[in-house]
């Protein structure tokens, strides 16, 4: 999709590691739950901004497999927020032409949340303006291990020759099958690590780390990250030519 004006064509796929909700709340003397709730507002704005900028795929890291180890009260609140988002935002996403896709291990989610996810994905399946990918109960190492396990099972059953296994076969068995690899990954809050997020898919992504805490992340922050992306020379392992 072309950008709405004469700005450079945006990255096709932008992924965001949303970090800093707890620090945002602590700085204001508020409970961590207040930071998470404010963070949901930032997600809503991010989706709208991505649509306006012409981004085709937007992936957000909403809840990692490691997040299950957080205090029970915090996890419970996060699940309540997830239910609220799925119930309150899907109609708006659908109206705006946004397709929702959730990736991750759903086995640990409550049955009603799984039902809400299934319904939201089915309702928005044919939308094409933006694909919103929500990484939920997601861990990239687990994702890769599961893909390897599936390949091993297929090989054991005689469905494929182990010698024929290649990168495409692995890619096709990841949660993100059918989704292009991210071009740009943004992490907020000043942390400079990727925390088990899209390890396979980010092989040639550009990374931009910003100091802004997630609840304060604005359209201008997104635009600045895209501007930085356009200043990079993406070589994909090739040697740069003469300049």
Q: What structural domains does the chain harbor?
A: 13-140+181-230 (3.40.1180.10)
The response to whether 161 counts as a known ligand-binding position is no
For residue 242, pLDDT beyond 50: no
What token pair was written down for 132?
């919103």
Q: In what order do the strands lie in the sheet with 130-138?
A: 98-103, 130-138, 57-64, 13-17, 184-187, 206-209
CA distance 26 to 40: 17
Can you give the pLDDT at residue 243?
35
Flag whether 189 is marked binding: no
Whether pTM exceeds 0.75: yes
Note the Cα 29 to chain centre separation in Å. Answer: 29
133-139 mean pLDDT: 98
Q: Does residue 134 carry a pLDDT above 60?
A: yes
Residue 5: what pLDDT? 59
Q: What is the model's pLDDT at position 2?
A: 52
According to the annotation, is 214 in a ligand binding site?
Answer: no
Gyration radius from the chain CA atoms: 19
Rounded mean pLDDT, 105-127: 97
Other beta carbons within 10 angstroms of residue 141's beta carbon come to: 11
pLDDT at residue 109 greater than cutoff 80: yes
Say how many C-beta atoms besides its own lie within 10 A of residue 41's C-beta. 10
Rounded CA separation 144/199 (Å)? 9
In this predicted structure, the answer to whether residue 37 has a pLDDT above a threshold of 50 is yes
The pLDDT of 112-130, averaged and rounded, is 97
Q: For residue 6, what pLDDT band results from cuts at 50, 70 and 90?
A: low
CB 96 within 8 A of CB 104: no
Which residues does the annotation mark as catalytic? 19, 67
Examine the pLDDT at 113 and tell me if it is beyond 90: yes
What confidence score (pLDDT) does residue 192 get? 97
Residue 159 has pLDDT above 50, yes or no: yes
| Cα dihedral: 45, 2, 220, 46 (round 10) | 20
With b for 16 or more beta-carbon neighbours within 10 A and e for fewer, the 109-140 pattern comes to beeebeebbeebeeebeebeebbbbbbbbbbb
> Is position 21 annotated in a ligand binding site?
yes
The structure tokens 């306006």 sit at 52
pLDDT band of 234, cuts 50, 70, 90: confident
Helical H segments across 56-189, by residue range: 72-95, 111-124, 140-156, 167-171
Predicted pLDDT at 241: 46
Query: Could you read off the pLDDT of 183-221 as tens digits, one per residue?
Result: 999 999 999 999 999 999 999 999 999 999 999 999 999
């Amino acid at each position: 999709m072309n950008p709405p004006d004469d700005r450079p064509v945006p990255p096709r796929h932008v992924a965001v590691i949303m970090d800093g909700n707890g620090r945002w709340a602590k700085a204001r003397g508020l409970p961590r739950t207040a930071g998470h709730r404010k963070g949901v507002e930032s997600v809503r704005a991010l989706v709208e901004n991505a649509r306006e900028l012409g981004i085709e795929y937007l992936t957000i890291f909403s809840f990692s497999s490691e997040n299950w180890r957080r205090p029970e009260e915090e996890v419970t609140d996060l699940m309540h927020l997830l239910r609220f988002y799925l119930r309150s935002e899907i109609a708006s996403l659908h109206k705006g032409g946004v397709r929702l896709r959730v990736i991750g291990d759903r086995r640990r989610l409550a049955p009603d949340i799984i039902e809400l996810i299934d319904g939201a994905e089915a309702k928005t399946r044919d939308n094409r303006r933006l694909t919103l990918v929500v990484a939920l109960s997601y861990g990239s190492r687990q994702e890769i291990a599961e893909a390897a396990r599936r390949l091993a099972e297929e090989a054991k059953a005689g469905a494929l020759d182990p010698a024929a296994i290649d990168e495409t076969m692995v890619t096709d068995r990841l949660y993100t099958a059918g989704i292009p690899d991210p071009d740009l990954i943004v992490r907020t809050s000043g942390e400079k690590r990727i925390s088990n997020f899209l390890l396979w898919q980010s092989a040639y992504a550009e990374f931009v780390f910003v100091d802004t805490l997630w609840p304060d992340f604005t359209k201008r922050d997104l635009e600045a990250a895209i501007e930085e992306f356009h200043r990079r020379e993406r070589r994909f392992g090739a040697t740069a030519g003469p300049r």
